[in-house]
Structure 1
C-alpha cells in the first residue's frame, strides 16, 4: 500500500475548447436530425394512409 492517500476529488481536468458553432454534445439528448426524420416519417405515413383511404372511397362509389 502506498503511503500517500488519494484526494477525495480528482484534480480539475483541462477544459477542451468548445466547437465554433457553440453547440455542446449532450449524451442524454437525441440528435436534432432524429426529430426531423421522425417528423418526416409520420407525415409520409399519414399522407400514404390518406391516399389509400381515398382510393378505397373512390372504389366504393363505383
Structure 2
C-alpha cells in the first residue's frame, strides 16, 4: 500500500456562502406533562374536598 501523504478530503478553502437558516420552532400544543399535572391537581383537590367534608360530617355528628 502506498503511503498516503495528502488527506482524503481537503478542508474547504472558504466557508459556505449560503447557509440554510435554522427553522423557527413553533410549539402549537402544550407538553404532555402539563395534562398529567392538571389531572393530578384536579384529583388531589377532589380528594381533599371529600376528606374535609367527611371531617365536617364527623364533627357535626358528635
Q: Does TM, scored on the shorter chain, surpass 0.5?
A: yes
**Which consecutive unaligned segments of at least 5 residues does structure 2 have?**
1-19
Deviations 1:2-59 (A, max 9, x none): xxxxxxxxxxx68xxxxxxxxxx86110000000000000000000000000000000
RMSD: 2.3
Give the whole-Å Cα distance in 2 for the aligned partners of 1:33 and 1:57: 36
Give the whole-Å Cα distance in 1 for the aligned partners of 2:59 and 2:38: 31
2:33 alignment partner in structure 1: 33
TM-score computed with the length of structure 2 as normaliser: 0.58
Please list every run of at least 4 consecutive aligned residues from structure 1 whose deviation after the TM superposition is greater than 2 angstroms: none
Which has the greater radius of gyration?
2
2:43 alignment partner in structure 1: 43
The alignment of Structure 1 onto Structure 2 pairs a total of residues equal to: 42
